């Protein structure tokens, strides 16, 4: 398809860019890291968010190359920022294609060695479709990644079909509550119940929990009151280019 060829060309000519959004600890309301998020500087259509291309890209073999570039670029950036913020963590989204590439473990090892980033400073975000395949190689790979010491976060948690038993079998270290549950948390009793249940689940399994899409003080207050560990959302900052992020959250501010 046309979009596929365009995506490949875009990657080869450097039209992809990473934006960074702050991750904030409820305790002390400190910036503890960033999530790297892909953007496409399209020559005609301007800046595109993943909504415009990620589903097509994810299905193509090129996703592995793009994902590997995201991982390497984000880790290099994090290594720079850790010079002024020693505890800084970088969260990177993985494509399923990277799990099938056969070199993900080696790549992560190599990127950590090359950047000097300690493994606990890297968190890989996976969506449940990756684990729902129940593929023994994927399970093994997740175990191996975890054994390296990198964090593994379950992204968009609560939106899919991930059964509770998956949490028992996968070495996940963090749950990211999907923003659809956060939006009405202060007015919708059922959403609030879901969020409290995920927080309880996280605690029971020894996992940390981060809430996405936090836009108001009221949402923040409620999440922190229920011992949510971290939050992410427009209340603290939108995804921005690296220099802007550095100015607001690393060297400046
Ligand atoms: O940046 P934005 O909030 O619009 O991201 C939308 C979705 O696109 C996110 O939920 C995320 O899962 C996905 N996404 C963004 N950047 C990347 C990336 O680098 N790799 C993968 N696999 N997904 C990404
Ligand atoms: O990987 P994931 O799909 O979770 O990426 C986070 C997505 O959520 C990105 O597309 C980002 O732009 C979006 N996002 C982050 N914070 C907020 C927020 O406070 N409100 C809304 N509506 N979207 C957000
Ligand atoms: Mn994510
Ligand atoms: Na998400």
Split into its structural domains, the chain has a count of: 1
Q: How far apart are CA 108 and CA 147, in angstroms?
A: 12
Residue-wise pLDDT for 102-161, tens only, equals 999 999 999 999 999 999 999 999 998 888 777 888 889 999 999 999 999 999 988 877
**What is the SS3 assignment for the chain?**
CHHHHHHHHHHHCCCEEEEEEEEEECHHHCEEEEEEEEEEEECCCEEECHHHCHHHHHCCCHHHHHHHHHHHHHHHHHHHHHCCCCCCEEEEECCHHHHCCCCHHHHHHHHHHHHCCCHHHEEEEECHHHHHCCCHHHHHHHHHHHHHCCEEEEEEECCCCCCHHHHHHCCCCEEEECHHHHCCCCCCHHHHHHHHHHHHHHHHCCCEEEECCCCCHHHHHHHHHCCCCEECCCCCCCCEEHHHHHHHHHCCC
Q: What is the pLDDT of residue 206?
A: 93
CB–CB of 26/211 below 8 Å?
Answer: no
Pocket test of ligand 1: the residue of 15, 34, 38 to mutate, having most ligand atoms within 8 Å of its CB, is 38
Domain carrying residue 221: 2-250
Q: What is the pLDDT of residue 236?
A: 98
Q: What is the pLDDT of residue 133?
A: 78
CATH number at residue 52: 3.20.20.450
Percent of the chain surpassing pLDDT 70: 98
Those residues of the chain that have pLDDT short of 50 are: none
Atom from ligand 1 closest to the CA of residue 37? 16
Report CA 5 to chain centroid distance, whole Å: 27
Q: Please give the distance, rounded to the nearest whole angstrom, from the Cα atom of residue 181 to the centre of ligand 1.
A: 18
Q: HSE of 109 in the Cβ direction (CA atoms, 13 Å)?
A: 9
Q: What is the pLDDT of residue 145?
A: 97
> In this structure, which residues have their CB less than 5 angstroms from ion ligand 3?
93, 125, 155
Q: Which two tokens stand for residue 225?
A: 């009151």
Ligand nearest to C-alpha 213: 2
Q: What is the pLDDT of residue 45?
A: 94
């Amino acid at each position: 398809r046309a979009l596929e060829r365009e995506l490949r060309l875009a990657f080869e000519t450097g039209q992809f860019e990473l934006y960074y959004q702050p991750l904030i600890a409820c305790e002390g309301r400190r910036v503890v890291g960033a999530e790297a998020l892909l953007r496409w500087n399209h020559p005609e259509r301007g800046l595109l968010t993943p909504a415009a291309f990620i589903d097509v890209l994810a299905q193509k073999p090129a996703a592995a190359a793009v994902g590997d570039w995201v991982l390497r670029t984000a880790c290099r950036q994090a290594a720079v920022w850790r010079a002024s913020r020693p505890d800084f963590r970088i969260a990177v989204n993985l494509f399923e294609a990277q799990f099938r590439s056969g070199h993900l473990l080696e790549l992560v090892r190599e990127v950590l060695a090359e950047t000097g980033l300690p493994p606990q400073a890297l968190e890989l975000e996976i969506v449940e479709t990756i684990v729902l395949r129940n593929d023994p190689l994927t399970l093994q790979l997740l175990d191996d990644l975890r054994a390296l010491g990198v964090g593994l976060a379950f992204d968009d948690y609560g939106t899919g079909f991930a059964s509770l038993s998956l949490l028992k079998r996968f070495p996940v270290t963090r749950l990211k509550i999907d923003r659809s549950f956060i939006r009405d948390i202060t007015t919708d009793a059922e959403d609030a119940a879901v969020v409290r249940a995920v927080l309880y689940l996280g605690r029971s399994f020894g996992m940390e929990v981060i809430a996405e899409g936090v836009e108001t003080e009221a949402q923040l207050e409620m999440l922190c009151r229920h011992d949510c560990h971290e939050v992410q959302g427009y209340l603290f900052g939108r995804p921005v280019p690296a220099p802007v992020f550095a100015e607001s959250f690393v060297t400046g501010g």
